[in-house]
Amino acid sequence: MRNQFWCGLCIIFLASTPLHCLPSSENNLHRRNSATCPNPSVRTSWSNLSTSEKRAYQASITCLLRAPSQMKYPGAVSRYDDLVYVHQRQSDYPNGRDEWHVTGQFLAVHRMYCFIFELMIRDECNYRGRMPYWDEQRDAGNFRNSEFLRDFGGPGDETGRVTQGPFANLEITLGPGFQNVRRTLRRQINETASAMAGRQYYQNLLAQTTFASFLNEIRHYNHIAGHHGVGGESPSLHRYAMGNLETNLLTTLKFLGLAPIDLKTVRNICTH
């Protein structure tokens, strides 16, 4: 496929390169208003998709889960694991070398990450639909009963294991944390955390007047709402336990939680 080589190259790049080490110049920092985008990718709320569109998106994730790993990373079995491993490697908390979350590139690198995911499901799994996002504000404080979570198997059984939906009884091998242990996908809903996706927190986010304060606000509240609100995997890993930060992509939900990053960032720029 035409983009498969570039997807692989980008994954290797993200897994091995701290972006703040890349060269830059003043010219690179100026906004390029002359650029045009004749065919932009469309983002839409999950709730706006038809049943067939939802199934097509879920099928594209299943496609990545069934395809073998191309990068051959330790513990990676599927093509989806290739993506998860990158997040695991760059969130190296025990050694104090997190390159993605406590740095200024937090927003930019996750935008690039979502873009690579989109390339993969389109080029490798023939997905042709709109790219959905989870409108967490709509479900703040009530993740457990949300239509969105129900479409992805619900909150799990009494032990948190996901036994229903398109990813029922999914076996995963990366994580928890920095370990690689074969287990079943699980969740642990925390409505106190999910409430941080609410309107008040969103308004506080957009009210920030500097990049640093905007970054700090989204990292400590809006971003945590998705991780802790869904929970699972390894709740013992401090507050970063879609349960744990390193391998949270294994929940199959996080890309939909990351998709609105463009919207939040642009609204902040346009407001200030």
Q: Write out pLDDT tens, residues 6-26.
A: 455 455 545 444 444 443 444
Three-state helix/strand/coil letters over the chain: CCCHHHHHHHHHHHHHCCHHHCCCCHHHHCCCCCCCCCCCCCEEEHHHCCHHHHHHHHHHHHHHHHCECCCCCCCCCEHHHHHHHHHHHHCCHHHCCCCCCCCCCHHHHHHHHHHHHHHHHHHCCCCCCCEEECCHHHHCCCHHHCHHHHHCCCCCCCCCECCCCCCCCCEECCECCCCECCEECECCCCHHHHHHHCHHHHHHHHCCCCHHHHHHHHHHHHHHHHHHHHCCCCCCCHHHCCCCCCCHHHHCCHHHHHCCHHHHHHHHHHHC
Which residue ranges form the domains of the chain, and what is each CATH number?
4-19+43-271 (1.10.1280.10)
Q: How many residues does the chain have?
A: 272
For the segment 89-112, what is each residue's pLDDT rounded down to a tens digit?
Answer: 776 555 656 666 666 677 778 888
- Which residue, 140, 258, 146, is CA-closest to 196? 140
Contact present, 83 and 67 (Cβ < 8 Å): no
For the segment 149-200, what is each residue's pLDDT rounded down to a tens digit?
Answer: 999 999 999 999 999 999 999 998 887 777 788 888 889 899 999 999 999 9
Read off the tokens for 126.
Answer: 């023939």
pTM: 0.76
Residue with tokens 């709320």: 45
